[in-house]
Structure 1
Amino acid sequence: MRRIVRWVDGAGRVSVGVEVDNEGHFRRLSGIEDPMPFLRGEMFSPEGRPVTPADPYSLELGDGLTLITPLDPPEVWCAGVTYERSRDARVEESAVRDVYDLVYEAHRPELFLKDAASRRTVGPGEPIGIRGDSTWNVPEPEIGVVVGERGKILAYTIGNDVSSREIEGANPLYLTQAKVYAGACAIGPALYIPPREPQGFQIIMRISNEEGDVLYEDKTSTTYMVRTFDELAAWLVKENPVPPGSVLLTGTGLVPPDSFSMVPGNWVEIHVPEIGTLVNPVALATTLL
């Protein structure tokens, strides 16, 4: 059992599906709409016929089933400046340049609250938001870790920490406005439970326009991170009552060129081979309120 997804059927019923082989076949777990009991080790029996994704790349389902967020995190947190590329980009954009060098080299990481009660977090296929009061908006593809009691990592997912580089660059104290607004976060399409401690994840991002033309494409690896997943999770729960099932996004190593900004109608695809592909269209945040 490697991946967990959630879907909703035509009658609005939510199901949790667990992968039962290495070929992308998912079977429903009886009696739950939230995967957290399963992640905590409670026993459930897969039932019903296998569900096979219509698209193995994105895990998009057929038969009238729609993928939703693989869980509803009570909180979403983010770590910043965990890759050298991210540090360099934020130094370049910022009017206060040395703060990012200092946090990159510091013992204590940058952590901030991105969302609570899933008010600003969307799932696969749902629109992510960009701020209308910013002319420089970018996606930030990241590995998200699902944390349990005392910061134990239960699973991994893909996250998109959508951000306004213009607002954050004007003043680091504007970080919350640059990061927290309608549709500013996406997670999915699956939760990944590795058989052993992962050695690293490859992250590939592609941004396209409405016509399908690729505007930006690049890849990185979490092996370039200056901090480990366990280290970040431990700092997150240090003297901080983070509810189990919360997601910590662990920073980005992919930064589009300064000349690029997302606009409504763009599509963002973030692919991690072990997890799947998180695909979201772009819309103005005001339309998502």
Structure 2
Amino acid sequence: MNNLDQNGTYLGRIWTAEAAGPSVVTIRAGRVFDVTSKQVPLVRDICEMDDPAGYVSNAPGRDVGGLEQLLSAPTGNTHLLAPCDLQAVKACGVTFARSMVERVIEERAAGDPDKAEAIRNRVASAIGDSLRNIVPGSPEASKVKQTLIAEGLWSQYLEVGIGPDAEVFSKAQTLSSVGYGAEIGLHPSSSWNNPEPEVVLAVSSRGKIVGAGLGNDVNLRDIEGRSALLLSKAKDNNGSCSIGPFIRLFDEGFKLDDVRVAELALTVEGTDGFVLRGHSSMSEISRDPEDLVAQTIGRHHQYPDGLMLFLGTLFAPTEDRDTPGAGFTHKIGDVVTIASEGLGELRNTVALSTDCPEWNFGVRALMTNLSARGLL
């Protein structure tokens, strides 16, 4: 797979017909190795270790085939799953200045893409790049807030963008995230939506960041724009959360500082011939990843099985796809690829959430499967 580092330590999951369930895997010299054991049956268990990368690098495993072969049939009897299992899936919003402006536009347009362009021009002329270097919660941010209030441009999105408290929400239910090659879902009632290419942190129950992967926080712009109280409907649907292809564990060659400067490339290829390209630069994030983790897990909130944390995106699509001024929206069949050097590629195909395979393998099914395999 392009963008994987042959010296990196990768952790993931596959579904196998033989086990009728998931197995924990790693990548060694382009081969997939099953490292599931009775002592360590879950990705969650490895992420709880003092040295996850050290364990994975030396864990005994069974060669189950070549990675490229696995990727060439992403929905076959053996295929990649999201690389997390019992972890909670959380997400941070409005963590980049440019996407912050787009969230304000969504709110002011009340989910109507036809109104977005005019509002975009007015808000951008007033705000410009003035928010780019402001530290959220700082005295300077407070002054900007008062200025924007006086201009009649203050918004709940700006509050979480430059205020002291980050937006952290529940993105998906445990075990409901999809992986590489799966369909990603749009709620049938949405007509204005887009991908959100993001870095996703793997965090232990102690709040330790142990690695990172890629994620698509599928966004329904019209539904969220109508009301912030519809955030759950806009964010948590069948197939609306994709993570993968693997968690790259921190080791001597890959650390949090590499995440802080990661560059993400996005490509959307439609069956109509339309191609959209975008990017997100972690160096432009307004809040440090460690701050976002600290606002999510701590004495105020525990996650006994750890969590996966989406960090937000710089990407905000404004390129028109069909109607002038209406911006971008998905069409069924779009192939979305998110890529980053060292983290690999996450590729999915857009469908309606009502047409995606139903999610029916929850925690009880996982525990039953592991028990039947003698792994519990």
TM-score (norm 2): 0.69
- Please identify runs of 4+ aligned residues in structure 1 that moved more than 4 A: 58-64
CA displacement 1:71-122 (0-9 Å, x = unmatched)? 2244211101111121011111212852222221112101111122233x21
Q: Percent identity, aligned pairs only?
A: 27
CA 1:100–1:64 in structure 2 vs 1: closer, same or farther (change >3 Å)? Answer: closer
Report what 1:19 is aligned to.
Answer: 27
Q: Write the mapping of 1:93-242 to structure 2, written as runs, cut at 5 A.
A: 93-95=106-108, 98-119=155-176, 121-195=177-251, 196-199=255-258, 200-210=261-271, 213-238=273-298, 239-242=300-303
Q: Provide the C-alpha distance between the structure 1 equivalents of 2:161 and 2:81, rounded to a whole number of angstroms.
A: 34
Instruction: Tell whether the 8 Å contact from 2:13 to 2:25 is kept in structure 1 after alignment.
Output: yes
| Residue 29 of structure 1 pairs with residue 26 of structure 2 | no
Report what 2:14 is aligned to.
Answer: 7
Q: Provide the C-alpha distance between the structure 1 equivalents of 2:76 and 2:93, rounded to a whole number of angstroms.
A: 40
Q: How many residues align?
A: 284
Instruction: Tell whether the 8 Å contact from 1:82 to 1:252 is kept in structure 2 after alignment.
Output: yes
Cα displacement (A) at 1:220: 2.2
Report what 1:85 is aligned to.
Answer: 98
Report what 2:150 is aligned to.
Answer: none
CA 1:33–1:269 in structure 2 vs 1: closer, same or farther (change >3 Å)? Answer: farther
Larger relative strand fraction: 1
CA displacement 1:137-161 (0-9 Å, x = unmatched)? 1111111111112321122111111
1:86 is paired with a residue of what secondary structure?
Answer: helix
Report what 2:368 is aligned to.
Answer: none
Report what 1:283 is aligned to.
Answer: 351
Look at both structures and tell me which one has the larger radius of gyration over its CA atoms. Answer: 2
| Residue 76 of structure 1 pairs with residue 89 of structure 2 | yes
Q: What code does the residue aligned with 1:103 have? A: V
Q: Provide the C-alpha distance between the structure 2 equivalents of 1:221 and 1:182, rounded to a whole number of angstroms.
A: 28
Q: Provide the C-alpha distance between the structure 2 equivalents of 1:116 and 1:30, rounded to a whole number of angstroms.
A: 23
Which of 309, 312, 322 is matched with 1:251 structurally? 312
Larger relative helix fraction: 2
Moved more, 62-71 or 103-112: 62-71
Q: Provide the C-alpha distance between the structure 2 equivalents of 1:151 and 1:2, rounded to a whole number of angstroms.
A: 20
Instruction: Tell whether the 8 Å contact from 1:159 to 1:186 is kept in structure 2 after alignment.
Output: yes
Cα displacement (A) at 1:28: 2.4
Q: Provide the C-alpha distance between the structure 1 equivalents of 2:74 and 2:236, rounded to a whole number of angstroms.
A: 30
Q: Provide the C-alpha distance between the structure 2 equivalents of 1:143 and 1:45, rounded to a whole number of angstroms.
A: 26
Instruction: Tell whether the 8 Å contact from 1:206 to 1:214 is kept in structure 2 after alignment.
Output: no
Cα displacement (A) at 1:30: 4.4
CA 1:45–1:240 in structure 2 vs 1: closer, same or farther (change >3 Å)? Answer: same
Q: What code does the residue aligned with 2:10 have? A: R
CA 1:62–1:177 in structure 2 vs 1: closer, same or farther (change >3 Å)? Answer: closer
